[in-house]
Amino acid sequence: MKILVLNGPNINMLGIREPDIYGRETYQSLIEKVRDYCKAKNIDVEFYQSNHEGSLVDKIQESYGKADGIVINPAAYTHTSVALLDALKAVSIPTVEVHISEVDKREDFRRVSYVRSACIATISGHGTDGYLEAIDILLKRGDNK
Ligand code: DQA
């Protein structure tokens, strides 16, 4: 099984940005944690982070025919991007939306997710463990097929 872990703007600033909200774990340590988890489960994982909407769209398109699942934290683009929604719908790869913070308990604008309707599940507010839960959801789904 091949999974793409996609992160949007400012996720590269984890550990530095608003630690009270996002914690002190860095982006690098998030990658290492997810990589170790995938290794133990025999999953082939690829990571991609960008601060640019079009680059994220490109990466989703490139995953067509290659990835069996996507874990996406679109970050701020969650709340604005029809382009990411359309890209996920276009490739039709099972996708789980992840947010480190509990978006529904923050500002009103964070309650809106454009990508959600293209995702099989959403995990919010479980910190970086949410990425591991997302992988489990994709794995379970893959096993059933
Ligand atoms: C986030 C929540 C978003 O509202 C925010 O713009 C982010 C990170 C999260 O992981 O909690 O950048 O997606």
Task: Give the domain range for residue 30.
Answer: 2-143
Task: Give the chain's domain count.
Answer: 1
142 close to 1: Cβ distance less than 8 angstroms: yes
Ligand 1 contact via 110 beta carbon (within 6 Å): yes
Residue nearest atom 2 of ligand 1, based on CA coordinates: 75
Give one DSSP letter per residue of 95-132, joined into a string: EEEEESS-GGGS-GGGG--SGGGG-SEEEESSTTHHHH
Ligand 1 contact via 76 beta carbon (within 6 Å): yes
- Of the candidates 37, 52, 77, 99, the residue annotated as catalytic is 99
84 close to 74: Cβ distance less than 8 angstroms: yes
How many other CB atoms are found less than 10 A from the CB of residue 17?
Answer: 13
Confidence band of 145 (pLDDT split at 50, 70, 90): low
**CATH, residue 102:** 3.40.50.9100
User: What does the pLDDT read at residue 143?
Assistant: 73
pLDDT in tens, 26-40: 999 999 999 999 999
**Mean confidence (pLDDT) of the chain:** 97
- Of the candidates 22, 27, 77, 114, the residue annotated as catalytic is 22
pLDDT in tens, 64-107: 999 999 999 999 999 999 999 999 999 999 999 999 999 999 99
Confidence band of 142 (pLDDT split at 50, 70, 90): confident
